[in-house]
């Protein structure tokens, strides 16, 4: 009897979409792709009235999720408000995971500053956030602590190489997509495909 192919695994990336976060955005995609996982994000969802339902479906479809709360801070434009999307989507994820009895709690919180999560979101006390210090190497290192793959385990150097190659091709990808920002659906998808192609080549 032919062996059944195991399905691929999607990872929900709940990350901020701002200019200062671009390097870490690419690092998350490169890192997740290095493990042979498929990054997914709300960027894929077009703006519409049914957006919330689609976000919930996306969370349900993904086996793992990564929530970066490092940029839940006041913005510069008046009225100055923090972005609540990331904590809100983390809440949705926790609820979805808790609802399914057999589903493991495969969600991870990333932060850039130690002990800040305890202050900003004390409901998560007892959950150890992954501290990346706002650095690419921090993100890649913490991803290595979360995931392990038998056979094709990527090293941080290999993840870094994938990141570098994606970053090198950033302008070409933007041109191909006809966009100026990385935070567009088409650009996100293109970056994921390029990162996967590099991962398949680099991680032996």
Partner 1 sequence: MTIVLDSTFATAEDTAKALGVSKSRLKRLVRLAGPVAMKAERPAFRAGMRHAATSRRRGPGVTAKRKKQTRGKTKKAAH
Instruction: Identify which of residues 70 and 196 has a Cβ nearer to partner 1 in the complex.
Output: 196
Q: What distance in Å separates the CA atoms of residue 33 and residue 192, rounded to the nearest whole number?
A: 7
CB of 159 to partner 1, least distance (A): 14
CB of 130 to partner 1, least distance (A): 11
CB of 28 to partner 1, least distance (A): 14
Q: What distance in Å separates the CA atoms of residue 122 and residue 93, rounded to the nearest whole number?
A: 17
Instruction: Identify which of residues 111 and 142 has a Cβ nearer to partner 1 in the complex.
Output: 142
CB of 149 to partner 1, least distance (A): 4
Residue 12's DSSP bridge partners are: 40, 65
Instruction: Identify which of residues 30 and 72 has a Cβ nearer to partner 1 in the complex.
Output: 30
Residue 13's DSSP bridge partners are: 66
Those residues whose C-beta lies under 8 Å from the C-beta of residue 182, and which sit 6 or more positions away, are 22, 25, 26, 170, 174, 188, 191
CA distances (Å), 119 to each of 74, 123, 183, in order?
A: 15, 10, 29
- CA dihedral 151→158→134→28, nearest 10 degrees, is -60
The answer to whether the beta carbons of residues 164 and 145 sit under 8 Å apart is: no
Angle of helix 170-177 relative to helix 185-202, nearest 10 degrees, comes to 140
Instruction: Identify which of residues 3 and 19 has a Cβ nearer to partner 1 in the complex.
Output: 3
CB of 165 to partner 1, least distance (A): 7
Report the interface residues with partner 1, using CB under 8 A.
5-10, 33, 35-38, 40, 44, 64, 106, 145-150, 152, 165, 169, 172-173, 176, 189-190, 192-201, 203
Instruction: Identify which of residues 12 and 71 has a Cβ nearer to partner 1 in the complex.
Output: 12
């Amino acid at each position: 009897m032919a062996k059944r192919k195991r399905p691929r695994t999607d990872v929900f990336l709940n990350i901020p979409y701002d200019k200062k976060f671009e390097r870490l955005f690419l690092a998350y995609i490169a890192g997740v792709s290095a493990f042979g996982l498929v990054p997914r994000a709300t960027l894929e969802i077009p703006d519409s009235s049914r957006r919330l339902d689609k976000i919930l479906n996306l969370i349900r479809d993904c086996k793992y999720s990564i929530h970066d709360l490092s940029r839940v801070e006041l913005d510069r434009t008046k009225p100055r408000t923090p972005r609540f999307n990331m904590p809100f989507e983390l809440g949705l994820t926790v609820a979805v995971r808790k609802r399914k009895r057999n589903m493991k709690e495969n969600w991870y919180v990333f932060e850039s500053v130690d002990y800040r999560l305890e202050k900003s979101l004390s409901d998560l006390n007892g959950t150890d956030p992954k501290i990346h210090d706002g650095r690419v190497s921090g993100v890649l290192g913490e991803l290595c602590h979360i995931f392990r793959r038998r056979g094709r385990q990527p090293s941080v150097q290999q993840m870094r190489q994938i990141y570098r190659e994606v970053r090198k091709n950033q302008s070409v990808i933007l041109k191909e997509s006809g966009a100026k920002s990385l935070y567009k659906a088409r650009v996100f998808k293109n970056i994921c495909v390029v990162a996967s192609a590099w991962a398949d080549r680099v991680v032996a």
